[in-house]
Structure 1
Amino acid sequence: MRKTLLVNRRSALKLVAAGTAMLSSPYIIRPRPAWAENGVLNVTTYDKFLPQDFLDKFQKDTGIEVRVRLTDDQGKQYNLLTAEGANPSTDIVTVAGHRYSQFIQSKLISAIDIDKISNWKNLNSVYQDAKWARVEDKLWGLPILAGYEGLARNTDYVKEADSLEIMFDPEYKGQTSYIVSDFLTLAMQYLGYDGDFVSYTDNRELAQKATNDARDLLIKHKDMVRKYYDAGSEVQQMFINEDIYLAHSWSGPVAKLIMEGHPIQLSAPKEGTFGFVYTLNIVNNAPNQENAYKLLNAVLADPAVGASMTRQSGYSSTINGVADLLNDREKMAATLPQNQLERVIFFSSVNRDMKNELVDRATAEVKAA
C-alpha cells in the first residue's frame, strides 16, 4: 500500500495520497553507530510514514539504533507476528484501527500505557480516547495518520458541499461520480442509519432494511451519475477533464489534485463520513518495549514531525499544531477543519462480515438497475 488508488471499504488499507509508493522491502539495516549503547528498536511500518530526519534525530538523542522494516500490507504483518509467536523480531508495527480485533484476539499487540507517553496531550482530542481505539477498555496504539472519504468538488462550479443532499441535486445531473459500495454506506448515514453496521450486530433485519433503503435511493437517483468509478485515477481524470464537478472520494486522490493546483476541495458532510487511522502499536512480548515507548513519545514531541509525515504520505496528521506548519495548499490537501474532523466516523472492526455481505449484494443491485 503508494500508487494513487481510491480506497473502497474492502481495500481501505491501500489508500494512496500525493503520488507516493509503498513497497514491501526487507529490513533496512543501517550500520550500528559507535554511540548506540542503549539497545535497538525494530519497527515495521509503511514507506514514508516515519521521516528519516526524525529517525536520525531520535537515534542521536537516545543512542537507540532504529531498524526499519517496510511493509505494504496488514495481512503480512499479521502473518509474520503469528509465525514468530512469543519471540517477535519487531517491537512496533503499524496497524489500522479497524484491524485491531484481529491482532488483539491473537494476542499480537499490547495495550499501551499512556502514562509512559508524556506527550500524549499533543495528540488531537479526536484521537486521544476514540471509541474505535478502545477495545476491552484499553487503548492499543498511537494514532499517527488518518484518511477519510468525503465530498470532492470543483470549486469553480460548486461553491459549497456541506451535505450529502448535494449529490442528489438536479443542478448537477450527470456531473457526479462515486464508488458505489462506499457511497452506499454514506447514503445510509444520510438516511439516518448506521453505515458502519456496528449497531446491527444482533439485528440483521434492520441492517437489511437500512441497506435496501440506501440501495433504492441510489437507484432512484442513478441519472445523477456520470460514471461509477473504482480507481482514484479515474475520478482524478474526470475532474481534470471537467467531466464531473462533484464526487464522493477518499482523501488520497483529492490531495494529489489539490497539490497539483487543480481547483478541487474535499469536505466532510454534516451527516457524517468514514475514515481510518494508522497507529503505531507495541508488539506483545516486544524485546525492546521501553525503547518503543521512547519513540512513541518522540513522535508527539514536535508537530514538525507530524507535518513531515503528512507531506511525505499525503495522509492527515493526528498531532496538534501540524496545520500551523503547512502552507495553504498543503492544508487544503491534507487537513480538515476541526468541526469537520469531528464528523468523521472511524471504521470499527465490529460486524465486518455482515457489512461486507449486505453491501456487496446491494452494490451489485445498484449497478445492475
Structure 2
Amino acid sequence: MTFLIPTRRSTLKLMASGAGLLAAPSIIRPARAADSVLNITTYDKFLPQDFIDQFQRDTGIEIRIRLTDDQGKQYNLLAAEGADPTTDIVTVAGHRISQFLASDLLQPLDTDKIANWGNLAKPYQGAPQLTTDGKVYGVPLLAGFEGMVRNTDYTKASDSWELMFDPEYKGMTTYIISDFLSITMKYLGYDGDYVEYVGKPEEAQAATNAARDFLIEHKDMVRKYYDGASEVQQMLVNEDVYVAQSWSGAASKLIMDGFPVELSIPKEGTYGFLYSFNLVKNAPNPEAAYKFFGALLANPDVGAAMVRQSGFASAFAGVDALLSDRERAAIALPEEQIARIQFFAEVNRDMKNEMIDKAVAEIKAA
C-alpha cells in the first residue's frame, strides 16, 4: 500500500514502494440514551455509507454525521461547547492535533478496548503524530499531501511550482490561499512551516510578507480562490482552470475517474498530513465510539472504500490488494517526488496561524 506516515524517513520508504461551513448543528441531537447513538464530525466522502448502514444494523447504534471541511471551524465548535460536547468523534489533521490537545478537547484512547487495532498498518499503530506522553489520541485513517495538479490536455509538463505563475495560464489557476501561502514560502526559499522561526518573529514576518507580496503580484494568475475539494475538482472538470494546488485526495479521485490530470510534487517540495478519528473529551457516547473504531478496522474493504471515495492513502493494512491498478497508480508517485514531502510539524503553530491568517486577509483584500 502507498502509505504516508508521520515520520519522514519511514514515510519515504513506504510511499516509494507503492475541507465550507459545518453542516447544521441540528443534525447532531442529544442522545436518546447512553451509547445508543454516535455523533461524528468528519469530511465528506470519508465514511462509506455501506459501512454506516451495516454498523447501525449490527449494533443498533445510530450514527449521526456533521460534515466539516475546515479544521479551524471544527476546533472552534468543540471549544465553544466546552465540557458538554455534542460530538463524540472528530476528524483531526495531524498538524492541528496539538491545538486540540492544548485546549484539552480530546481524550486518550485505550487501544486495548479497540477490537482489530492490529489491523492498522504497523507503522501507524504507534504513529508519533498521534502519541503524546505515551498516550494515543487517535485512530489513523488517511494520509496525503499538497500537490500540483495540471490538465495534461492543455498544459506543458513541469517539475516546478513555477507553472502556477506561468503567464501562459493567466486566469487559469486556483488554490487555497492559506495552504498555498506556505508552499509559496517554500518556493521562494523560506520555511513555510515556521519551524526555523521559533523565537524569531521578525524573521518569520519578513518571510510571510515576501510570500504575501508575491501572491498579490501574481493575483491575475488566479481564476478563483477555492475552499473545498469538490470545488477544485469541479473547476478542473469544467476546464475553468488548468493548473491548481490541491490536496492529493481530490486530485487522485479525478485520476481514478479517468480525468486527464497529473498530480505531482514539484522540485521545491510540499507538505504532508495525516487524518485520524479522535475521541472528544467528555464524549456523551464513549462506548459506542469504541465499538465504532473496532468495526472500522475489522475489514480492509472499508479502508479500500475510503480510498476510492476520498482519494487519500489508507492507514489500514491489506488495502493494497483490494485496489485496481488505476486506483493504486492514482495514489502512487515516483520515489524522487515522495522524497520532497515534509510533514507539518507541531511546533510554533500559534505564530504560523496568526501570521498566515493575517496574510490571507491581506491577499484577498488586495
TM-score normalised to structure 2 length: 0.70
1:186 to 169, 183, 186: 183
Verify: 1:273 aligned to 2:274, yes or no.
no
Alignment of 1:177-216 (within 5 A): 177-179=173-175, 180-215=177-212
2:243 to 235, 242, 246: 246
Verify: 1:311 aligned to 2:308, yes or no.
yes
- The answer as to whether partners of 1:272 and 1:344 remain within 8 angstroms in 2 is yes
- The answer as to whether partners of 2:171 and 2:223 remain within 8 angstroms in 1 is no
- The answer as to whether partners of 1:175 and 1:243 remain within 8 angstroms in 2 is no
Alignment of 1:321-332 (within 5 A): 321-328=318-325, 330-331=327-328
Structure-2 residue corresponding to 1:26: 27
1:67 to 62, 67, 73: 62
- The answer as to whether partners of 2:91 and 2:278 remain within 8 angstroms in 1 is yes
- The answer as to whether partners of 1:91 and 1:282 remain within 8 angstroms in 2 is yes
Deviation at 1:297, TM superposition (A): 3.3
Deviation at 1:306, TM superposition (A): 1.2
Structure-1 residue corresponding to 2:78: 78
Once residues 60 and 338 of structure 1 are traced to their aligned partners in structure 2, the CA distance between those partners, rounded to angstroms, is: 42
Once residues 342 and 66 of structure 1 are traced to their aligned partners in structure 2, the CA distance between those partners, rounded to angstroms, is: 43
Verify: 1:54 aligned to 2:51, yes or no.
yes
Structure-1 residue corresponding to 2:40: 44
**CA 1:81–1:184: 2 relative to 1, 3 Å:** closer
- The answer as to whether partners of 1:174 and 1:244 remain within 8 angstroms in 2 is no
- The answer as to whether partners of 1:175 and 1:245 remain within 8 angstroms in 2 is no
Once residues 167 and 270 of structure 1 are traced to their aligned partners in structure 2, the CA distance between those partners, rounded to angstroms, is: 13
Once residues 113 and 236 of structure 1 are traced to their aligned partners in structure 2, the CA distance between those partners, rounded to angstroms, is: 38
Alignment of 1:228-239 (within 5 A): 228-231=223-226, 236=233, 239=236
Structure-1 residue corresponding to 2:222: 227
- The answer as to whether partners of 2:303 and 2:314 remain within 8 angstroms in 1 is yes
- The answer as to whether partners of 1:148 and 1:251 remain within 8 angstroms in 2 is yes
Deviation at 1:303, TM superposition (A): 1.8
AA aligned opposite 2:184? A
Verify: 1:297 aligned to 2:294, yes or no.
yes
Q: Residues 131-190 of structure 1: CA distance to partner in whole angstroms, max 9, x if unpaired?
A: 5433445331012234542100122355655443544567x5637624344322112223
Deviation at 1:75, TM superposition (A): 4.2
Identity of aligned residues (%): 51
Greater shift, 301-310 or 262-271, is seen at 262-271
- The answer as to whether partners of 2:29 and 2:86 remain within 8 angstroms in 1 is no
Once residues 232 and 46 of structure 2 are traced to their aligned partners in structure 1, the CA distance between those partners, rounded to angstroms, is: 25
Alignment of 1:70-149 (within 5 A): 70-73=65-68, 74-75=74-75, 78-79=78-79, 82-84=82-84, 91-117=88-114, 119-124=116-121, 127-136=124-133, 138-146=135-143, 148-149=145-146
**CA 1:194–1:144: 2 relative to 1, 3 Å:** same
Once residues 254 and 292 of structure 2 are traced to their aligned partners in structure 1, the CA distance between those partners, rounded to angstroms, is: 33
Structure-2 residue corresponding to 1:174: 170
Q: Residues 207-256 of structure 1: CA distance to partner in whole angstroms, max 9, x if unpaired?
A: 12322443465567x39x63252126775566456565433223465356
Deviation at 1:106, TM superposition (A): 3.8
SS of 1:45 mapped into structure 2: strand
Once residues 311 and 265 of structure 1 are traced to their aligned partners in structure 2, the CA distance between those partners, rounded to angstroms, is: 17
AA aligned opposite 2:278? N
Alignment of 1:339-350 (within 5 A): 339=335, 343-348=340-345, 350=347
AA aligned opposite 1:229? K
- The answer as to whether partners of 1:77 and 1:93 remain within 8 angstroms in 2 is no
SS of 1:274 mapped into structure 2: strand
Greater shift, 356-365 or 203-212, is seen at 356-365
Deviation at 1:25, TM superposition (A): 4.8
AA aligned opposite 1:82? G
AA aligned opposite 1:26? I
- The answer as to whether partners of 1:226 and 1:244 remain within 8 angstroms in 2 is no
Gaps spanning 5+ residues in structure 1: where? 1-12, 16-20, 33-37
Structure-2 residue corresponding to 1:7: none
Gaps spanning 5+ residues in structure 2: where? 1-18, 69-73
Q: Residues 308-332 of structure 1: CA distance to partner in whole angstroms, max 9, x if unpaired?
A: 2233445543324434433455456
TM-score normalised to structure 1 length: 0.69
Once residues 242 and 120 of structure 1 are traced to their aligned partners in structure 2, the CA distance between those partners, rounded to angstroms, is: 43
Once residues 342 and 288 of structure 2 are traced to their aligned partners in structure 1, the CA distance between those partners, rounded to angstroms, is: 32
Deviation at 1:204, TM superposition (A): 0.9
- The answer as to whether partners of 1:147 and 1:275 remain within 8 angstroms in 2 is yes
**CA 1:106–1:181: 2 relative to 1, 3 Å:** closer
AA aligned opposite 1:45? T
